[in-house]
Amino acid sequence: MSAPAFRLAGVMGWPIGHSRSPALYGHWLARYGIHGAYVPLAVAPDRLAQAVEGLRALGFAGANVTVPHKEAVLALADEADPLASRIGAANTLLRRQDGSLHAMNTDAYGFLANLEESASFQATGRTVAVLGAGGAARAVIVALVDAGAVRIRLANRTRGRAESLADAFGPMVEVVDWRERSAMLDGVDLLVNTTALGLEGQPPLEIDLAPLPEATLVTDIVYAPLETPLLAAARRQGNPVVDGLGMLLHQAVPGFEAWFGVRPTVDAALRAAVLGPPAGR
Ligand code: ATR
């Protein structure tokens, strides 16, 4: 019998040295004994089109796409699934049998799968407060809307950006002034930070959590540090919290399954592998 074909995937970003994805996928490749590899691909913004063409030429099974390429890559794929188009960004490319490249967005899936698995959170019928109005916020809001959330309160430092984002969803997304970000927490079932605040090297998110109901789940897209000042403050108040690393782990599941043919498990061993030192250091 001939050996199975060697399968190749990777992650395109700029810079790419700090990406945890090679450790993440590397752990699964070893665990499932897969004949394949997943490599970091440093792709400058002006070389993205060439790099995508290169994936085809090199026979990659597909690739992840990260900052700053998530929006631009949509136009370079042969087709995008409707979810990726609605979010306006793709994080996963899949090469089909006929050689065409299909763009997907698995961030929305990863966001919800993390909350479901870590805290049994179901979005149906819920009211959610979202901080931030960038690309991450768009994926989070699409995920929540599709899963049946009934009301989203959205606050962003630059109010106009929140308004443009809210426009796509109608009255269920209500824009709240950034100065009112604390008051909007009254009665919400979930608080999500999608801003860069709290990330290593960035200032902390300043928000008074006093109006937050005590059972309200708090989560952060930021996962470096794992416990952001927001999550620490929520924990001190007695609120349940879910860190952002789980979203990274869960968003990787559909890509791995599509490229390598095994649906992988998110567990403590994977978390440990991803939290270890970056490969090559
Ligand atoms: P991403 O794709 O990760 O969401 P982004 O599009 O750059 O990244 O968005 C970053 C988010 O963090 C935005 O909501 C941004 O607010 P603005 O739209 O006002 O720029 C928010 N953000 C970044 N630094 C901030 C700060 N110092 N205070 C408040 N919000 C901040």
Catalytic center residues: 70
Q: Is 139 in the pocket of ligand 1 (CB under 6 A)?
A: no
Q: Using most ligand atoms within 8 A of CB, pick from 138, 156, 230, 251 the residue to mutate for ligand 1.
A: 156
**What angle in degrees, to the nearest 10, is found between the helix axes of 268-275 and 21-31?**
140
Question: What is the per-residue pLDDT across 1-45, written as a single tens digit (0 to 9) for each?
Answer: 666 689 999 999 999 999 999 999 999 999 999 999 999 999 999
Among protein residues, the one whose CA lies closest to atom 8 of ligand 1: 134
**Nearest to 89, CA basis, from 39, 48, 25, 136:** 136
**Nearest-atom index, ligand 1, CA of 221:** 3
Ligand 1 touching residue 196 (CB < 6 A): yes
Residue 278: what pLDDT? 56
Number of H helices, E strands in the chain: 10, 12
Q: Which sign, positive or negative, has the C-alpha torsion 103, 67, 270, 145?
A: negative
- Reported as half-sphere exposure (CB side, CA atoms, 13 A), residue 34 has a value of 22
Give the C-alpha separation, 121 to 123, whole Å. 7
> Does 165 contact ligand 1 (Cβ within 6 A)?
no
Ligand 1 centre and the CA of 239: distance in Å? 25
Confidence of residue 123 (pLDDT cuts 50, 70, 90): very high
88 ligand 1 Cβ < 6 A: no
Closest of 177, 104, 89, 178 to residue 137, by C-alpha: 89
How many angstroms separate the Cα of 63 from the Cα of each of 118, 250, 269?
A: 27, 16, 23
- Tell which atom from ligand 1 comes closest to the C-alpha of 158: 19
The string of pLDDT tens digits covering residues 46-98 is 999 999 999 999 999 999 999 999 999 999 999 999 999 999 999 999 999 99
Question: Helices 159-167 and 135-146: crossing angle, nearest 10°?
Answer: 40
Task: Compute and round to an integer the Cα radius of gyration of the chain.
Answer: 19
Looking at the CA of residue 195, tell me the nearest atom of ligand 1.
12
**Quick check: CB of 135 below 6 Å from ligand 1?**
yes
Any atom of ligand 1 within 6 Å of the Cβ of 62? no
Burial status of residue 115 (CB atoms within 10 A of its CB: 0-12, 13-18, 19 or more)? buried
Residue 281 pLDDT more than 90? no
